[in-house]
Amino acid sequence: MARKNHPHSTDDQTVCLMLEILEHIMKSVNTLLVIILSMIVGCRGDSKQSTDELLIVDVTASYPQKELILQDFMTVEYVPLETSDDFVNQGFVLAIGKEVMLVKNRVNDGDIFIYDINGKALRKINRKGQGAEEYLFIHEITLDEDNNEMFVNDLLRKKILVYDLYGKFKRSFDHPNSATYANIHLYDKDNLICYDCSVNDNEGEDRGSQSFHFVISKQDGRINREIFIPFKITNSHKIFHEEYVFTFLSDDYSIIPFLGNWMLVDLSTDTIYHYSPDGRLSPFIVRTPSIRSMTPDKILLLKNITERYYFMETYRKELDVKTMNVLARPEYLVYDRQEKAIFNYKVYNNDYLEKRQIDMGNLIASDDIAFWRIMEAHRLVEYYKKGDFRDGKLKDIASRLDEEDNPVIMLIKHKK
């Protein structure tokens, strides 16, 4: 299926033109930036966003330090994955629903372990192969519990295969044309939302008329909506050096769900966008100076969002040519909506007696579950023997673990 250019209305064309102009002038004029963004939002009469809600982040600035306790603003749960002879795995979570959790190993063995939400082992599925109803490589799985379906994204074959939760094949559809879908989420009862990461295959290309975020049909993969994010020249998450290609970021940053809304990111633009369920796209965070004005590039990513905090990271897109190592050293930033200020941050898990930092990264699970973390059984046993836990659920779980057990999954949920 040939991809069509995004059908812009007159108002959308005005907005997109102004946003493209904005990308060039953000290099130095921050005051003018705010004025122009006000005009952009103003032209969209149906948008409720104001400049007071628009966050501008200077990626070159130094920010004060802030320490946070995870349990103060999130709900934390621990799920020990049942271990048996047939259920031994590395606990890499693929999807979490209200009733079941899908888990795989980090190696490409094709196994999909299905647990209930409390960690009880239910069944194991493996449909790996080269047949029409099989997958070669599980890049990700999108879970649709309402329809008892899972969408397996096979990145090697550029194909999405749909199975029921017992492994029965139902249907499949290809990624269209030259697209490579990644970071696929449920959008509504009929559609998925996804990102075409092929934009990252080349650096410095003119791709300004294409869309890379899509809403596609669950039934046949038909593109039902293109979400056009304006930019002119591509900026890849890869580093190209002579005949070598180095990947310093995954595609997990490109779509972030939050309570029925979506935050859309593309490294080729200075703007992170808010996308509402009714299809409105509006600026949410703008970085300054422009990425095109920095050498080496300094990437700004939105990693997670809560009612009060926006967690972000910056990365220098830099390669040590002597050692051929990528110098990806993140700087951790948080915007506090209550204090209306940006900080460098550290977040600590209060279930430990000693300060133990937790990464607020974006292993996004669902609207309710902000992210998840793997806790290796042997480490929890070690911490328990050292007396490193406060009284509570985690200490109780660790007291009953064997070093060879499956991991414990830490679920970090939005407070209700």
Give φ, ψ of 335 to 5 degrees. -100, 125
Beta bridge partners of 340: none
Whole-angstrom distance, CA of residue 49 vs CA of residue 30: 19
Residue 48 has pLDDT above 70, yes or no: no
Dist CA 258 CA 279 (whole Å): 15
Which pLDDT belongs to residue 326? 61
Higher pLDDT, 329 or 274: 274
User: Helix 10-25 and helix 30-43: axis angle, to 10°?
Assistant: 170
Counting Cβ atoms within 10 Å, is residue 51 exposed (0-12), middle (13-18) or buried (19+)?
middle
Average pLDDT (171-185) is 92
- Computed over every residue of the chain, the mean pLDDT equals 83
* Lowest mean pLDDT segment, chosen from 23-27, 120-124, 355-359, 381-385: 23-27
Q: Give strand pairing partners of 273.
A: 264, 283
* pLDDT of the residue at 406: 97
Give residue-wise pLDDT tens across range 83-139: 999 899 999 999 999 999 999 999 999 999 999 999 999 999 999 999 999 999 999
- pLDDT tens sequence across 58-77: 999 999 999 999 999 999 99
pLDDT over threshold 80, residue 19: no
pLDDT value for 160? 98
Does residue 54 contact residue 388 with C-beta atoms inside 8 Å? no
For residue 316, what is the enclosing H or E element? strand 309-316
C-alpha dist (Å) from residue 320 to 40, 295, 323, 326: 40, 14, 6, 6
Q: Domain segments of the chain: what residues? A: 10-414
Give the residue with greater pLDDT, 146 vs 31: 146
Share of the chain above pLDDT 90, in %: 60
Which candidate, 348, 368, 357, places its Cα nearest to that of 411? 368
Structure tokens, 326? 């990528």
Looking at residues 297-317, what average pLDDT do you find? 88
Sheet holding 213-217, edge to edge: 181-186, 191-196, 213-217, 223-227
Query: Looking at residue 11, what is its pLDDT?
Result: 45
Q: What is the pLDDT of residues 183-234, one digit of tens each?
A: 999 999 999 999 998 877 666 666 677 888 999 999 999 999 999 988 776 6
Of 182-186, 236-240, 397-401, the least confident: 236-240
C-alpha separations of 176 from 132, 161, 358 in Å: 17, 14, 38
The pLDDT assigned to 237 comes to 63
| pLDDT exceeds cutoff 80 at 383 | yes
Q: Which fold has domain 10-414?
A: Methylamine Dehydrogenase; Chain H (2.130.10)
Taking the C-alpha atoms of residue 129 and residue 156, their distance in angstroms, rounded to an integer, is 12
- Report the alpha-carbon distance of residue 198 to residue 193 in Å, rounded: 16
CB-based contacts of 408: which residues, under 8 Å, 6+ apart? 78, 79, 80, 81, 91, 374, 375, 377, 380, 394, 397, 401
Task: Copy the structure tokens of residue 408.
Answer: 């414990």
CB atoms within 10 A of CB 410: 19
pLDDT confidence of 253, banded at 50, 70, 90?
confident
Question: Does pLDDT of 280 surpass 70?
Answer: yes
What is residue 246's predicted lDDT score, i.e. its pLDDT?
A: 61
Residue that wins the pLDDT comparison between 270 and 396: 396
Q: What is the pLDDT of residue 340?
A: 96
Mean pLDDT of the region 298-307: 88
pTM, 2 dp? 0.83
- Give pairs for 7-11: CB < 8 Å, separation 24+: 8/228, 11/43, 11/44
Q: What is the pLDDT of residues 326-376, one digit of tens each?
A: 666 789 999 999 999 999 999 999 999 999 999 887 666 666 888 899 999
Neighbours of 38 (CB within 10 A): 13
- Listed residue (280, 271, 275, 317) closest to 295, CA to CA: 317
Q: Pull the structure tokens for residue 199.
A: 């934009």
